[in-house]
């Protein structure tokens, strides 16, 4: 399983390579936040919510397209949902053999620091986690 973030190719490459090597399917999970105005009741119907969900799902499909072409033997299941990344990744990882997440490479005076999603999954996911640095 891989958590998909926009612009993070290194975790996708790692996850696809692992899935190909072990001849297993890959679940790609993209978690997104609903636009803030949804919480204020400014949306009259579900069409805007649905439209936003469709755009996020299409973005996931597009992010996976080059990797699917490169790793044609890997079966990919796409999952795009709104929510808190740590919660959804933790739930989705149940039964997985590995969770791959990215970690944005930043230089800090006292060394690298894990972001909130990386930190959260490391402490809550019951399966091995591969943290792959990306730019």
pLDDT tens, 58-71? 999 999 999 999 99
Which are the contacts of 20, defined by CB distance < 8 A and separation ≥ 6? Answer: 71, 73, 74
Place 107 in a pLDDT band, splitting at 50, 70 and 90.
Answer: low
- Of 106 and 46, the one with more pLDDT: 106
User: In the prediction, which pLDDT does 50 show?
Assistant: 77
The pLDDT of 38-46, averaged and rounded, is 53
Contact 93, 126 (CB under 8 A): yes
Please provide residue 86's backbone torsions phi and psi, each rounded to the nearest 5 degrees: -65, -45
44 pLDDT higher than 70: no
User: In the prediction, which pLDDT does 34 show?
Assistant: 73
- Whole-number mean pLDDT of the chain? 86
Percent of the chain with pLDDT over 70: 81
Alpha-carbon Rg for the chain, nearest whole angstrom, is 16
Mean pLDDT lowest among 15-19, 38-42, 58-62:
38-42
39 pLDDT higher than 60: no
The pLDDT of 83-109, averaged and rounded, is 86
User: In the prediction, which pLDDT does 108 show?
Assistant: 57
């Amino acid at each position: 399983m891989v958590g998909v973030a926009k612009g993070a190719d290194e975790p996708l490459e790692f996850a696809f390579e692992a899935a190909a090597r072990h001849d297993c399917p890959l679940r790609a999970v993209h978690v997104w936040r609903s636009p803030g105005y949804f919480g204020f009741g400014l949306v009259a119907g579900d069409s805007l919510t649905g439209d936003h969900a469709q755009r996020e799902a299409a973005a996931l499909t597009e992010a996976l397209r080059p990797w699917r072409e490169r790793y044609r033997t890997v079966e990919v299941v796409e999952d795009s949902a709104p929510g808190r990344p740590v919660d959804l990744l933790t739930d989705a990882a149940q039964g997985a053999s590995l969770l791959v997440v990215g970690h944005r490479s930043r230089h800090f005076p006292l060394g690298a620091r894990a972001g909130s999603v990386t930190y959260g999954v490391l402490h809550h996911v019951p399966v091995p986690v591969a943290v792959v640095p990306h730019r």
